Structure 1
Amino acid sequence: MPSTYDISTVALDDDRYEVRQSLIRNKYAVRDSAGDVVLRGKQKMFKMKEEFPFVTGDGADAFTVKAGGIVDVAGNYAITDAGTGEEVVVLDEDFSLFVENWTVRDPETGAALATIRSKNRLLSALRHLVGFANLVPNRYEIFDADGDHVGDVRGKFSLRDAYTVTIDDASDVPKEAVVAAACVLDALENE
């Protein structure tokens, strides 16, 4: 059943995705449970505002995640559908030294649709204060608008950053936003 927050160019019907970063830069491949690439994204270099364009596994433009401001420490990142040109959701980072917390919001009303929160406060604090702590994979929990647990983003020990994103099928949390957030938060939290 289509949702207001679906992206027209992408159909993420699975409940589990693998996100892998390339060795060289903030470039990501997203695979479904069958191992097929469903999305690719990369951080554009030398931009005043952070920008992450994503394409489908076939190479068609899917969506773009773009910062709302220049050098956005605790800000918002709009996800814009490449097919319609409209903002679908906003990823809002709630900056804190002790917890990495992202809220997926409706772009017009600001209503919270989901929250992605790190599970380990000590690791979150260390990741902000000590560079080598980024080598330890982090884990995040996904909550819906009612505060119910609906999924996880689990980091894996690997030469390059790798995450497993799991979202309950019954959830109305926008999967594209959560998968994009896994890539974006990896890139931004490691800076």
Structure 2
Amino acid sequence: MPDTAEMYLPHFVVRQKLTMMINRYEISESDEAGNPTRLMALAEQKRMAFKEQVTFFADASKSRPVFGFKARRAIDLNAGYDITDESGAQIGYFKKEFGASLLRSTFLVEGPGYAGSGRERNQLVALLRRFTDVDFIPVNFDFVDTTGAPLFSVERRMSIRDHYRVTVPDRRVDFRVAAAVAVGLDALMSR
């Protein structure tokens, strides 16, 4: 049986809060039905930043950053993103594969003891999302390891505001890695 990550959660939700200059996200542990039960982190991303960076805080006071992700290079559509813990130690990595993402968005992900990829579940929805201005189309990603075993999935409900349900069947996947990727999907989806 694989090792369990330091911070393993089998499911959680990510909700985007609409603001003018900053993308804000609330990440909450959830029950199996997807109902939020406990706030785990709040995230902020400055729009139009020179170098992509998202910081996750313990609470609304933003006095304690608990993890985050940052682009390895500035202004690079093919940049990779290091996911770090509270002390700045790397706990994971993800990257959008732009060549593979022309018709269906595809991401690589790595964490302690696993590597894999995820892509949009439905080709038709992927094409609709690219060629229409409909922002509330449901978007689902399935991440699998190199053997094809499920790592985690990210599902956006059909709604005006972005609301994602994240399910993590693989106990090796740290909550912080899955949360960073889920927020990264939202932030990078339109690129």
Structure 2-normalised TM-score? 0.81
> What is residue 33 of structure 2 aligned with on the other side?
none
Quick check: 1:105–1:114 contact (8 Å CA) kept in 2? yes
Q: What secondary structure is seen at the aligned counterpart in 2 of 1:127?
A: helix
Deviation of 1:55 after TM superposition, in Å, equals: 1.2
> What is residue 87 of structure 1 aligned with on the other side?
90
> What is residue 76 of structure 1 aligned with on the other side?
80
Q: Structure 1: how far apart are the matches of 2:123 and 2:75?
A: 24
Identify which range, 16-25 or 69-78, moves more after superposition: 69-78
Structure 2: 5+ residue stretches without partners: 31-35
Deviation of 1:46 after TM superposition, in Å, equals: 4.6
Aligned partner of 1:28: which letter? Y
Quick check: 2:154–2:165 contact (8 Å CA) kept in 1? yes
> What is residue 121 of structure 1 aligned with on the other side?
123
Q: Structure 2: how far apart are the matches of 1:171 and 1:144?
A: 12
- The one-character-per-residue Cα deviations of 1:5-60 (angstroms, maximum 9, x if unpaired) are x5xxxx3x321101000022421001102521101111124521111011124752
Task: Give the percent of matched residue pairs that are identical in Structure 1 and Structure 2.
Answer: 27
Quick check: 2:4–2:171 contact (8 Å CA) kept in 1? no
Structure 1-normalised TM-score? 0.81
> What is residue 173 of structure 1 aligned with on the other side?
173
Deviation of 1:112 after TM superposition, in Å, equals: 5.7
Does the alignment pair 1:147 with 2:148? yes
The 5 A counterparts of 1:1-191 are 3=5, 6=6, 11=7, 13-24=8-19, 25-33=22-30, 35-57=37-59, 59=62, 60-83=64-87, 85-95=88-98, 96-105=101-110, 113-130=115-132, 132-168=133-169, 170-190=170-190
Quick check: 1:44–1:53 contact (8 Å CA) kept in 2? no
Q: Structure 2: how far apart are the matches of 1:49 and 1:129?
A: 27
Aligned partner of 1:181: which letter? V
CA 116–56 in structure 1, closer or farther in 2 if over 3 Å, else same: farther
CA 75–133 in structure 1, closer or farther in 2 if over 3 Å, else same: farther
CA 31–61 in structure 1, closer or farther in 2 if over 3 Å, else same: same
CA 51–77 in structure 1, closer or farther in 2 if over 3 Å, else same: same
Deviation of 1:90 after TM superposition, in Å, equals: 1.4
Q: Structure 2: how far apart are the matches of 1:187 and 1:67?
A: 12
- The one-character-per-residue Cα deviations of 1:113-145 (angstroms, maximum 9, x if unpaired) are 232221012322343344x14321201112123
Q: Structure 2: how far apart are the matches of 1:153 and 1:106?
A: 17
Aligned partner of 2:41: which letter? L
Aligned partner of 1:48: which letter? F
Identify which range, 53-62 or 148-157, moves more after superposition: 53-62
Deviation of 1:154 after TM superposition, in Å, equals: 0.9
CA RMSD of aligned residues (A): 2.4
